[in-house]
Amino acid sequence: MNATIVKQDIRKIDKATLEDFFVSIGDKKFRAGQVYQWIWQKGVCSFDEMTNLSKSLRTTLEAHFTIQAIKENKVQKSFDGTIKTRFQLHDGHMIESVLIPVPEDNRYTVCVSSQVGCSLTCTFCATGRMKRVRNLDAAEIFDQVVQVNQQCLDTFGHPLTNIVYMGMGEPLLAYKNVLESIERISAPDGLNMSPRRITISTAGIAKMIKQLADDAVKVNLALSLHAADDLKRNQIMPINEQNNLAALMEAMNYFFEKTKNRISYEYIAFKNFNDSMDDAKKLVVLCKKFPVRVNIIEYNPIDQADFEKSSEDKINAFAQYLIQKNVTVTVRRSRGKDIDAACGQLANKD
């Protein structure tokens, strides 16, 4: 009986290994560079698209390898221009990505997922109600950027300007694959996007924030803070019990001192929970430890949580207090709420 060749995703193979493969079949090493260009610069999803390779070579590649590209499953468009796309992975699991266009600021941002589901169980987040199934591999994250970039070009006539790792999952718990995806996205022989236009958002894992600093990653860092004292943060973010604010501030300061990369706090305003002047004063204290900007975010209700969004008056008063204390503040109005595409709403709902 003939042995069946188990096909490996060619995107999980490093260049040196691919060079060895081409030599083993009697071809030239430089073919690996050609294939890498098709995969990581042009983002192709099939060997047939590699038109500078001979038909016979493409057939050989097809016999030995596969390209496990993500596939568009469902697209929803919001009245405000936001587009949410559900993608199916090669093993049948689903993830979501969100395109957030702000044409007046010339900003076109993709919010990418890094895990199938999430293990952190933040009480206000729909994704946190899903169990974590697995980490996405680097190519699956890369695919989201390539496909949403094409969507952006087709819809708005403009390429993506920014990437935020703020979709499904905790990026720092998929650390190796997230960093590899950033490398591919930012490399000159990849998509060549500036890492300064990439932001990793974390619920707060002190050890991994320090690892980011030690690895000299040039991206921006956003901490999903949402409460400026441990008692409140413990209530809504169980991860705070192992990564309290003192540990997080020390890690964030370490990150800033080593990288000088931009840091922001994400702060969802919940009615009568974290939107008082006392909360604002505590937040100011956390803003004086290193340079940081604060993004105050409207809460987007989900079925499984009892929180309500803070009133506009309270949010504005909160923001004004921070501004008076020389804190850089942006109030973010929710985008894509009508299609469950806003912060905390990604849950693969039909």
- Tokens 């939107």 correspond to what residue? 275
Structure tokens belonging to residue 313: 């008056």
Do 222 and 285 fall within a single domain?
Answer: yes
> Can you say how many angstroms the Cα of residue 138 is from the centroid of all Cα atoms in its chain?
12
The per-residue pLDDT for 243 is 93
Do 192 and 58 fall within a single domain?
Answer: no
Do 310 and 194 fall within a single domain?
Answer: yes
Confidence of residue 24 (pLDDT cuts 50, 70, 90): very high
Do 101 and 15 fall within a single domain?
Answer: no
Number of domains in the chain: 2
Do 120 and 235 fall within a single domain?
Answer: yes
Confidence of residue 128 (pLDDT cuts 50, 70, 90): low
**Is 319 part of a structural domain of the chain?**
yes
Do 134 and 152 fall within a single domain?
Answer: yes
* pLDDT at 1 exceeding the cut of 50: no
pLDDT higher for 299 or 10?
10
Do 324 and 278 fall within a single domain?
Answer: yes
* pLDDT at 28 exceeding the cut of 80: yes
Contact 299, 268 (CB under 8 A): yes
The per-residue pLDDT for 140 is 97
The per-residue pLDDT for 158 is 96
Do 44 and 177 fall within a single domain?
Answer: no
> Can you say how many angstroms the Cα of residue 195 is from the centroid of all Cα atoms in its chain?
13
The per-residue pLDDT for 299 is 87
Do 275 and 126 fall within a single domain?
Answer: yes
**Is 344 part of a structural domain of the chain?**
no
Q: Could you give the angle at which helices 206-214 and 245-259 cross, rounded to 10 degrees?
A: 10
**Is 348 part of a structural domain of the chain?**
no
Enumerate residues 6+ apart whose C-beta is below 8 A from 7. 64, 65, 66
Domain C-terminal end among 49, 66, 83: 66
Supply the range of the domain harboring residue 312: 71-339
* pLDDT at 345 exceeding the cut of 90: no
Enumerate residues 6+ apart whose C-beta is below 8 A from 335. 78, 80, 81, 82, 100, 341, 342
The per-residue pLDDT for 330 is 93
The per-residue pLDDT for 302 is 72
Residue 81: DSSP 8-state: S
> Where is average pLDDT lowest: 50-64, 139-153, 204-218, 330-344?
330-344
Confidence of residue 125 (pLDDT cuts 50, 70, 90): confident
Contact 169, 112 (CB under 8 A): no
Closest alpha carbon to 226 in 342, 123, 153, 130: 123
Length of the chain: 350
The radius of gyration computed from the CA coordinates of the chain, to the nearest angstrom, equals 22
Phi, psi of 43 (to 5 degrees): 60, 35
Closest alpha carbon to 10 in 115, 193, 31: 31
Report helix, strand or coil for 54: coil
The stretch 139-155 carries a mean pLDDT of 97
Report helix, strand or coil for 1: coil
Do 242 and 293 fall within a single domain?
Answer: yes
Do 192 and 318 fall within a single domain?
Answer: yes
Domain C-terminal end among 28, 45, 66: 66
Report helix, strand or coil for 64: helix
The per-residue pLDDT for 131 is 73
- CA 284/CA 307 separation, integer angstroms: 24
- CA 134/CA 324 separation, integer angstroms: 44
| Domain containing residue 200: CATH number | 3.20.20.70
- CA 240/CA 235 separation, integer angstroms: 9
* Average pLDDT for the chain: 90
pTM given for the model? 0.90
Between the alpha carbon of residue 33 and those of residues 52, 141, 157, 182, 207, the distances in Å are 12, 21, 30, 19, 36
> Which residues are catalytic, by number?
96, 343
Tell me the percentage of the chain whose pLDDT exceeds 90. Answer: 80
The per-residue pLDDT for 191 is 95
Q: What is the pLDDT of residues 297-307, one digit of tens each?
A: 988 877 666 78
Do 32 and 78 fall within a single domain?
Answer: no
